[in-house]
Amino acid sequence: MTAQWTIPSALGRRLQRTYVGYWFAGTHGDPYALILRAQRDDTTPYEEEVRARGPVFRSEVLDTWVIADGALARSVLTDARFGALTRAGGRHRAELLPPAGPETGPARAREHGGVSAGAEPAVSAQDEVAVEAIAEQVSRTLLGGLGAGFDLVADFTRRLPAQVLAEFLGLPAARRGRFEELLAGCARSLDSRLCPQTLDITRTGLGAAAELRDLLARHLGDGGPRSAQAALALAVEVAAPAGALICNTFEVLGSSPGQWDALCRNPDQADAVISETWWRRPPVRVESRIAQQGVELAGVPIPADGHVAILVAAAQRDPAVTPAPTENGTGVPLGLLGEAHSTSAARTVRALSRGALRVLAQEAPDLRPSGTAVRLRRAPVTLGHARLPVARTGSGALTHPGAA
């Protein structure tokens, strides 16, 4: 890493200047900049303003073409002419935003999301079953150690992915506690790729990712689908979205009377509920792609190395678009298509989340929101929760968190 990312004063200035640029663009009416400023719990109004400006909106200051149109979003996310990095193997705005997660590892010429394309851990259908089983076991253990009231974020969803992944990756028991701590330090990695974080969060993330990669390197091989770098990419891309998806699902179930009770009566519906939430409140709301050649989108020319942002949540609200069908008839959200958010990470998030939700429904049917949910700031990609207080009431209807 260059001095601008290793010297605290230089890093702080760079982060501040970049974020000020977002504020400047947003103040002058750029809805995409307002999304990336990430100071609201609900960015829907800004997303809809992007949609109103046409199928492809050009954010001049942020040098990005932005898409909210459902059909066009699906086209870009499945188009081989778009990739995660530039033709030279760099990130978009790499001179402005510090590396995050897997990007702290050694530079390589051909990477996908911070890890070489052939090195990503392949999460097969059999692996999905294993992840789901581990998630159920860990969920029961975590719930068993909690009292009547707890924070669903700090006490459950933030710990669950790390413990599941540690078991899935076969890490020794003596190192799993540290793995969990370091992965928590990387929690803002996905958001930091598009939005500058505070200096403290950025420095914590850089240090945690570097130590996490070293930890994994001591216990995993250097190459293949279970390499340290591939495992780091998988862990970083799973942890925050899985937590967001579980919390989003719990909130969605509270928005309509009887939905939580219905799931508790039939916990096997967890997969369908998770799929519906992924469609309505995706755990990854902004996908980033870079044109590998000159491309025309809805009559708008995109140059080679041009950056395209897909507003997944907005695209999935498009009434002209329906979920793509699968073999079992369940609709596949845009964030699970092709390379969108990487297939292995998406499969793992889904398996982990449905296992956790099933156990919550089985073991804690009386679980209810007990306070106001608080969303993170500067989290435009995940729009994750900072807190979500819950309590086991013993009886009574599920109430919306805001009404508690």
DSSP letter for each residue of 181-223? HHHHHTTTHHHHTTS---HHHHHHHHHHHHHHHHHHHHHS-SS
| % pLDDT > 70, the chain | 86
Strands 295-297, 300-302: pairing is antiparallel
- Provide the pLDDT confidence category of residue 342 given band limits of 50, 70 and 90: low
pLDDT, averaged across the chain:
87
Q: Looking at the predicted structure, is the pLDDT value of residue 119 above 80?
A: no
Q: Looking at the predicted structure, is the pLDDT value of residue 389 above 60?
A: yes
Residue 19: enclosing H or E segment and its boundaries?
helix 8-27
User: What are the tens digits of pLDDT across the range 226-241?
Assistant: 688 889 989 999 999 9
User: What is the residue whose two structure tokens read 């969803």?
Assistant: 157
- Provide the pLDDT confidence category of residue 332 given band limits of 50, 70 and 90: low
**More confident: 326 or 351:** 351
The pLDDT assigned to 107 comes to 43
* For range 356-369, the mean pLDDT: 95
Q: Which residue stretches of 57-185 are H helix?
A: 70-77, 125-144, 160-169, 173-185
| CA gap 30, 138 in Å, rounded | 44
Q: How do the domains of the chain map onto residue ranges?
A: 3-403
51-60, 88-97, 341-350, 360-369: which range is least confident on average?
341-350
| CA gap 190, 193 in Å, rounded | 6
Q: Do 239 and 187 touch, CB atoms closer than 8 A? A: yes
Options 1.10.10.60, 1.10.630.10, 3.30.830.10, 2.20.25.240; which CATH number does 3-403 get? 1.10.630.10
* For range 314-321, the mean pLDDT: 86
Q: Looking at the predicted structure, is the pLDDT value of residue 333 above 90?
A: no
Compute the Cα dihedral for 67, 71, 72, 73 and give only its sign: positive
| CA gap 112, 83 in Å, rounded | 8
Distances (CA, A) of 158 to 180, 253, 258, 329, 388: 9, 20, 27, 31, 11
Distances (CA, A) of 308 to 97, 140, 300, 395: 17, 41, 12, 48
Q: Looking at the predicted structure, is the pLDDT value of residue 117 above 70?
A: no
Q: Looking at the predicted structure, is the pLDDT value of residue 254 above 80?
A: no
The pLDDT assigned to 17 comes to 93
Q: Looking at the predicted structure, is the pLDDT value of residue 395 above 60?
A: no
**Residues in the chain, how many?**
404
Q: Looking at the predicted structure, is the pLDDT value of residue 205 above 60?
A: yes
Among residues 402, 382, 343, the alpha carbon closest in space to that of 78 is found at 343
- Residue 367, CB half-sphere, CA atoms under 13 Å: how many? 27
- Provide the pLDDT confidence category of residue 121 given band limits of 50, 70 and 90: low
* For range 111-122, the mean pLDDT: 45
User: What are the tens digits of pLDDT across the range 45-75?
Assistant: 999 999 999 999 999 999 999 999 999 998 9
User: What are the tens digits of pLDDT across the range 274-300?
Assistant: 999 998 899 999 999 999 999 999 999
Contacts by residues 292-299 (CB-CB < 8 Å, ≥ 24 positions apart): 292/81, 292/82, 292/83, 292/87, 293/81, 295/79, 295/81, 295/82, 297/55, 297/56, 297/65, 297/67, 297/72, 297/75, 297/76, 298/54, 298/55, 298/56, 298/69, 298/72
Q: Which residue stretches of 270-371 are H helix?
A: 270-280, 312-317, 343-363
Q: What is the model's pTM? A: 0.90
**More confident: 1 or 35:** 35
Would you give the DSSP letter of residue 156? Answer: I
Q: Locate 149 and state its tokens.
A: 């009231």
| CA gap 96, 15 in Å, rounded | 7
